[in-house]
Structures are given as structure tokens and as C-alpha cells.
Amino acid sequence: MNDLWTLQRGAQLQPDNSVRFSVWAPRAKQPRVRIGRGSNARDHVLARAAGECGVWSVTVPNVGANAEYTFVHDDGRALPDPVSRWQPEGVHGASRVIRPDAFHWTDVAWRGVALDELVIYELHVGTFTPEGTFAAIVPRLVELKSLGISAIEIMPVAQFPGDRNWGYDGVGLYAVQQSYGGPNELKQLVDAAHSVGLGVILDVVYNHVGPEGNYLDAYGPYFTEKYKTPWGRALNYDDAGSDEVRRFIVDNALYWVTEYHVDGLRLDAVHGIFDFSALHLLQEISTSVHDEAARLGRGVVVIAESDLNDPKLIRSPDAYGYGLDAQWSDDFHHAVHAALTGERNGYYADFGGVSAIAASLREPFVYDGRFSRHRHRRHGGSSVGLPRRRFVVAIQNHDQVGNRAEGDRLSRTLTPAQLRLAAALLLLSPYVPLVFMGEEYGETNPFHYFISHGDEALATAVREGRRKEFETFGWGDAVPDPQARETFERSRIDWAKRQVAEHQQLLMVYRDLLALRREEPLLRPDGARVSVADGDPGWITLLREPLDDDAGSGWGELLAVFNCSGEAVNVPVPAPDARAWTLRLSTDASGYGGADEVVPAIAAGPAPGAPRRLLEPERDASRRSVRMPPWTAALYAAITNY
């Protein structure tokens, strides 16, 4: 345990109440640290740290916790610490010294959540509850656990300007957003989650830094003009001075794992991380986090959001990959959304129809090197042979809802039957499912994009940028003002809807499907051999067979049947012919709001080698089928000892 990582930059409180201040500032000639404010402020000169290029440090006695400090630059500006743990007055205010080991953790026995057990619930702190704080989430954790969630994924909490933001405009990468409750309340949330058996995954942004309150240029070459991102200047990961920039980011990943006990990191939009070093930043993050997790005796997962469909992200370094644990696969979302909504604009032009859904169930990357009409080029690489637990899929998430002009959820577009079908496609898929807050009960409030910049010119630029972004979707003028408080207020989820019958019915679908995932090993990613078939006018079958051919008697294979069309259809029952099937769940059940039209059992076919016989008048046993109502999913279990 002596080799555990500790943060060396920023303000490090010592046992004797002195504080060691350390900052990388190669652009400074003689920086100072100012402790306190007004007439009580005292400046202390920093000295160059031996053997560390551009690093300055000083140890100041009798400072203690909660002391305010800033770094004073050669031009007289007193600026926040780039590695500040606490910004109680926001991105422009002074930094604050804290004692990171003061919190009393109760999760000593917690070991994390395995990849194949993950059911992720993505939430935004500010809109998940009326209060919009970490503390307000705590009473909801038991309900999420009882739903069948195994880990919450929190959208970014690094300090951002104002009090409302998605979090991707964060500038204080080590400081926990004060309007959410600050550092201590985040630790309380993580500790409470672990106490009820929930993991915590934190969304982190390493592809850019937000514009307002971003003072990194005053310190050193944090940015490069060699590359461009859609969200701001690219971080300098492979040019002169990049060693300390990389350290700044890798340390940040380790910081959340060690000081906040998080169980995973979701790396935002890694296709916006540009690095042509021999050791890619993503591999360095992955290796560092996994090594530290091993020292801590916990499992920690690193999950990438990527638009690349690149298997290299999750291949091991031995196979010339980056060694990340998993990545988001948007092809599944796009396929389901396009098929059920009929939308074909933007990137949905590459999808549509049941065949795309079936393809996404066979392989997470539908675009595996094939030509994309939307991109006007070939896109992606092959995912064949990669474990299914390495892919996270969703039918809704913050991007796919919030980056619609009106922030409208599927509940505003689909019928109740279609919503139930979409839930089954997600939770019976062979991947790690992600549920977006409110999705489980059909929340109808929108989830808009919102900001609270202090710079009106910047707010205007964001408004115009959003409109331009949506031009390819034809949404143009329908974009709400992201700076307006009402845009944020409309985005809060309404917990009272859970008590309304229609919403309760959908909630029960999610609850029951997640219960089946826990009960049936075959439903876990990589827990079975999976075969997918599809056909007109819109049916899919997904057959799961035990990996062990000598699985024994009792329940055998599982068969999921989906009718993704608006008409009833006879769906062929795939091999093995000899099986009898009994219904485990139907989204058409009356308890869910359906009509109970799905048959409760499918009779056995002929045993291998046996003569063909008629099970019903004019029905050939070798051509068995099950009639499925429109927009319905059903799960059948094979009986092997009938």
C-alpha cells in the first residue's frame, strides 16, 4: 500500500498544517502564491523545483485547511490553481485548500462492479432531482438498485461557469462543481452508492477545456493549434511541453479513482483526443488506472465514448490496442431509433429498417469498414471476436436526446407499445445496457442543452453554434435558448410520473427485464452463443444457447422474438427443432398495458431424425412459427426435459 498514488501538484496539506504549493508554469519568470484576500493576503515566492522543467513550488507554514489561495503571475493577475480541488466561488474565484483524507469512508469492503454485471444509469446531477445536488440523489439510490441498476454514471462534475451546464464546459478539472454540493457531498454520494451495492462511473472530459474561466494559457502550453475539435482548442498531448499536460490528465483520472473512490471513468468523445505519440494517452490512462486499482484492491473500468467504431480502443496493448475496458457503440442506438421513429436525417440516413437492428445485435459495429452515406466514406473496423461486455449500448442518452433541437425523448415520439419494444431490444441485447434518467418510466419532459455563461458574447456564440449544428437535421429555428433558465428548468425529470398508471406499466417492463438479466446467466454479455435472424416485414429472433454443450436438464436455450413492425406477423422459430418453448416475458402482457395476444408456449418439434408430423392442422412442425402482435417483444425459454 506504500506505493499508492498521491497528487503532487496543487495545494497539498501536510500533517503540521503547512501546505506545499506546486504548479507547472513554464511561462512564468517568478510566480507567487497569495494566501488569503484583501489586507490579510500574504504572497510567497515559489522556487523552481529541482529536476522538473517549469515546475515551481514552496511550502508555507501554518496555512491549514479552507485557506484561500491564488497563483500570482508576472503580469500581476491572481488566478485559480489549475489543480484546485475546490472552487467555492466558481471558475473565476480563489482556490481553496482542503484535507482530502478528512472524509470517513465506510466502503472498505467494496470491490467494484464486474463488466458483465453492469447495468448503467446515466444521470445529470442538476436535473435528476428538484434540488439538483449530490445530496438529493442519495435517497433515490435504493430505488435505482431495486430497479436493477448496478452503477450510476454521473455526467461531468468538474467546475464549470455558473450553476447550470451539462458539464462538458468544465475548466476546473480537479474541482467538484460547487452548485452540486462540492467535494464532500460527492464523496458522500459515492459512499452511499457503495453502501446499497451501486457502483459509480464518472464522466470526464479530456478532449477540450471549456472557454469561460479557462486560465491554462497563463501557465503553460496546454493547447495546440495542430489539431481542431468541434468544442474548443485541442489539448497538447504530443508537442513541445506535452509531458506535463499528459501528467495533468493522467493524474486527474487517478485522482477520481483514489480520492473519490469512483468505480469507473467514462471518457468523453475520445475521437477528439489527438495524440501521435508512441504511447497513446488513452493507453497511458488505462494502464495507470488499472495499476492503481490493483494496488487499491478494487476493480475500476475505463469506458470510452467514441465515434470511430475502432476496435483498437479496447484491444489489449499486446494486440496493439489501448487496453480500455469498453466503449460506447452508437450503431445500436441509431438502428433502433431509425427503425422505430422513421427518421432518416443526419446520421440516421445510414440506418433504417429491421435489418440494421439485427445487424447491430450480431455485431456492435454495423459500420465495420463499409461505406457510410452520411459520412461519404468508409467507416469503422470489425468488432468480430471481441467480447460483448466490452460494448455499451443505449436507446437514449444525454447526447441522443439533448442534441435534438427540442430535447425530445422517445416518449414524445413512440407509442407505449413501441417504448416497451425498445426497452426489450436494449435489455435483451447481448451488450452492457445504459438507461438514461427517466427513460425507465417514459419521462416526457425534454432534456435540453443548457448553459449559464457569465460572458454574454460567449452565450450568443453558443446559441448560433447550436442552430448551425442542427442544419443537417433540418431543425434550424426550433432550438431553445440554452442560456435561458427556463430551458434548464424544463429539463428536470418529474418523479411524480412514476405514480401514473401508464408510466408505472413501462417501469414494470424495465424492472422485470432487468430481473431476468440477473436471474438468467444466458442473458449476460458473453454468457451464451448468440444467433440472430431477421426477415420481412420486420421481425428478429435472437437465440441464446449455453456455452457448455453439456448444460444438463432444466431450462435450456432462450429465444427472444421481436416484431418491429406495425402489423401482426408469424415469426419462424429457429432451431433446435426438438425444443418446446414456454413464455418468460411478453411486452404485450396486460400488466404492462398490452393485449395479452402473445402465445404462452410453443410446442415441440420433431426430435432429430424423427419423421415429420403435423402439430396443428395444416401446420408443418419443421416450419414452426409464433404469431407476434405489432411492436411486441417476447422471451421464451426452452424446456429440455419435457
CA distance 156 to 202: 7
Domain boundaries, the chain: 10-96, 521-639
Using alpha carbons, list the distances in angstroms from residue 509 to 145, 414, 516, 587: 15, 16, 11, 7
Tell me, yes or no, if 268 is annotated catalytic: yes
CA distance 578 to 604: 5
pTM: 0.95
What is the 8-class DSSP label of residue 274?
-
Using alpha carbons, list the distances in angstroms from residue 595 to 10, 417, 629, 637: 62, 10, 9, 21
CA distance 523 to 343: 30
Please say whether the dihedral angle defined by the alpha carbons of residues 143, 148, 150 and 154, taken in this order, is positive or negative.
negative
Using alpha carbons, list the distances in angstroms from residue 68 to 65, 108, 535: 9, 32, 66
Please say whether the dihedral angle defined by the alpha carbons of residues 354, 357, 362 and 365, taken in this order, is positive or negative.
positive
Which residue among 263, 305, 310, 512 is the active-site one?
Answer: 305
What is the 8-class DSSP label of residue 610?
P
pLDDT of residue 177: 98
- 516 SS3 class: helix
| CATH architecture, domain defined by 10-96 | Sandwich (2.60)
CB neighbour class for 120 (10 Å; exposed up to 12, middle 13-18, buried from 19):
buried
CA distance 382 to 370: 10
CB 236 within 8 A of CB 223: yes
What is the 8-class DSSP label of residue 436?
E
CA distance 631 to 388: 26
CB 208 within 8 A of CB 232: yes
Residue 305 neighbours by CB under 8 Å, 6+ apart: 266, 267, 268, 269, 270, 327, 328
The three three-digit cell numbers of residue 115, written as one number: 463488466
Per-residue burial over 12-41, b = 16 or more CB atoms within 10 Å of its CB, e = otherwise: bbeeeeebebbbbbeebeebbbbbeeeeee
Q: Give the residue carrying C-alpha cell 419532459.
A: 445
Residue 24 neighbours by CB under 8 Å, 6+ apart: 9, 52, 54, 55, 56, 82, 219, 220, 244, 247, 248
CA distance 451 to 315: 37
Q: Which amino acid is at 119?
A: V
The three three-digit cell numbers of residue 263, written as one number: 468505480
CB neighbour class for 534 (10 Å; exposed up to 12, middle 13-18, buried from 19):
buried
Alpha helices (H) in 327-477, listed in sequence order: 330-341, 354-362, 398-402, 416-427, 456-469
Fold: same for 10-96 and 521-639: yes
- 194 SS3 class: helix
Q: Which amino acid is at 575?
A: A
Using alpha carbons, list the distances in angstroms from residue 314 to 249, 389, 423, 529, 584: 20, 11, 26, 21, 34
- 9-40 pLDDT, tens per residue? 999 999 999 999 999 999 999 999 999 999 99
CA distance 6 to 86: 17
What is the 8-class DSSP label of residue 595?
-
Residues of the chain with pLDDT under 70: 1-2, 472-477, 549-555, 575-577, 606-623, 641-642
Please say whether the dihedral angle defined by the alpha carbons of residues 21, 280, 123 and 170, taken in this order, is positive or negative.
positive
CB 329 within 8 A of CB 365: yes
pLDDT of residue 465: 80
Which residue among 169, 259, 263, 268 is the active-site one?
Answer: 268
CA distance 335 to 362: 12
- CATH of region 521-639, choose from 2.60.40.10, 2.60.40.1180, 3.50.50.60, 1.25.40.10: 2.60.40.1180
- Mean confidence (pLDDT) of the chain: 93
pLDDT of residue 380: 97
pLDDT of residue 2: 55
Tell me, yes or no, if 305 is annotated catalytic: yes
Query: Which of 544, 517, 533 shows the shortest CA–CA distance to 427?
Result: 517
The secondary structure element, H or E, covering residue 147 is helix 141-147
CA distance 463 to 221: 29
Rg of the chain taking only CA atoms, in angstroms: 27
Q: Which amino acid is at 516?
A: L
Task: List, in sequence order, every beta strand (DSSP E) within 489-622.
Answer: 529-535, 539-545, 555-563, 569-572, 580-586, 601-602, 614-616, 619-620
Number of Cβ atoms within 10 Å of the Cβ of 455: 13
